[in-house]
Amino acid sequence: MVAVPEGDDDLIDEGLDEPTPDEVSAPTLRRRPRVSDATLRERRELDPGTCCPDCGGDLRVVGEDVSELLDMIAAQMKVIQIARIKKSCRRCEKMVQEPAPSRPIPGSMAGPNLLAHILVSKFDDHLPLYRQHEIFARMGADIPESTLVGWCGRATKTLSPLIERIEADIMGSDLLHADDTPIRVLDRSLRDKGLGKGVKQGRIWAYVRDQRPWAGSSPPGAVYRFAPNWKEEHVLSHLANARGILQADSYKGYAKLYQPEPDGGVPRLREAACWAHLRRDFHDFWASNMAVITREALDRIGKLYDIERDINGQAADVRHAARQKLSQPKVTAFFAWSEQQLLRIPGKSDLAKAFRYGPNRQEAFSLFLTDGRVAIDNNPAERALRPIGIGRKNWLFAGADTGAETLARAMTVIETAKLNGLDPQAYLADVFERIHDHKINRLDELLPWNWAPMVAAHSAAA
């Protein structure tokens, strides 16, 4: 929206063309809105009639001027009355009636589209339930907040078989990104004991598989897990069956996963470090004091990202060859240069800590050079946690551990659907409509990377 001063009749130029990449200062609001070809279109013809307004002669069509106005159809509630007609046989008096159709939540009024809307609004659009209650009331449906809370929990329970399959598939990958973020959780037992305000800090972990940067065959997906604290036991439980490579930050809870196993002597997971974390430390120093030494560190790391930008989306062997030729010398030179800088700056300073962080984990920072599948950073996991960070500013806290569990399970489905290019609301609405009547041995058909809308599925079967 653009505010226009009263009395200003000049047209707002939304821009007919995209700003060029060279136009760094080009205002983004001047880009013309992009509207999908699949969006509903309504044609309104303004016909001047059949007679000329000047001489009365016949008019003929010589062309038309077409412009577009973007408008919106307001959402509305709909009550679907399911009437099950009872009939009796005139001959034997047998009563005949169609069975009641299954519902997403047995015994509940919530329909599949409404449930999908509530979950996506809450966990993807970050709209707290009390605001949704107000919106629904304006539509003529007074749905108590407690009912909305219950629907969210029971909806994720309905999706449990699907969520478990997503978790098994993603967590069984041999290359995972992992990261975590804090979340405030109400704990009334603490308040009852007089310990603070009854709020504790839990954690949400995200585990992501994304093979698109190296043209892998497995579909992308994200798994979210809640833990009531930051103890390492939770990570060890989450990754109990994981084998391969884990790309993560330097959280100490991962350390045991990188240690050789007692029987085979080979670690269950190899550590891949995140160059974005390392770069961020130097960037913070550059932003605060503009030190030349930090500028050089940023430039050196930036050259590695230039190489990554060119090989993104290519096969793993192509990425490996390019990194060996172009990135390996730069990484070796960076760590040698870092060691030299440590001799010039105070050893106990924060800057020295930043310089020491890389060489101390040089093997983990160099793993991407020897395996073309490994990313240079852990950005996939950080992006997966971004919705949690935005949501915290809106819903502030989870009402209990069960609410945080619901958050994690809903995010698993929604974010995995988005990673696979789906509209999460359309996907969830279709799944809620079908899941209770779907054969359990064909449940994989409803996974985000296999899903097809019901109409499309029926057409394919025909």
User: Concatenated DSSP letters for 367-384?
Assistant: HHHH-TTS-SS-HHHHHH
Nearest partner of 380 among 184, 173, 193, judged by Cα: 173
The amino acid sitting at 173 is S
pTM of the model: 0.88
Q: How far apart are CA 342 and CA 355, in angstroms?
A: 7
DSSP calls for 104-172: SSTT----HHHHHHHHHHHHTS---HHHHHHHHHHTT----HHHHHHHHHHHHHHTHHHHHHHHHHHHT
Q: What is the pLDDT of residues 51-91, one digit of tens each?
A: 999 998 999 999 999 999 999 988 899 999 999 999 999 99
* DSSP secondary structure code for residue 407 in this structure: H
**Phi, psi (5° rounding) for residue 66?**
-120, 125
Domain locations along the chain: 112-164+394-461, 275-377
Cα–Cα dist 45/266, whole Å: 73
The pLDDT tens digits for 8-42 are 556 555 555 555 555 555 455 567 888 988 899 99
Evaluate whether 400 touches 185 at the Cβ level (below 8 Å).
yes
What is the reported pLDDT for 461? 47
Residue 183's H or E segment, with its range, is strand 175-186
Among 71, 69, 96, 98, smallest CA distance to 82 is for 98
CB-CB contact of 119 with 410 (8 Å): yes
Write down the pLDDT at residue 78: 93
Do residues 119 and 127 lie in contact, with contact meaning Cβ atoms separated by under 8 Å?
no
DSSP-based three-state secondary structure for 88: strand
Count of helix runs (H) and strand runs (E) in the chain? 17, 7
Cα 281 from Cα 150, distance rounded (Å):
43
Residue 435's region, left for phi above 0, alpha for psi from -120 to 50, else beta, is alpha
Helix, strand, coil % (nearest 5) of the chain? 50, 10, 40
Q: What's the pLDDT score for residue 1?
A: 44
What is the CB neighbour count within 10 angstroms for residue 65? 5
On the 0-12 / 13-18 / 19+ scale of CB atoms within 10 A, 50 is: exposed
pLDDT at 15: 55
- pLDDT of res. 98: 95
* Ranges of the chain with pLDDT below 50: 1-5, 26, 458-462
Question: For residue 255, what are the contacts with CB-CB under 8 A and spacing of at least 6?
Answer: 232
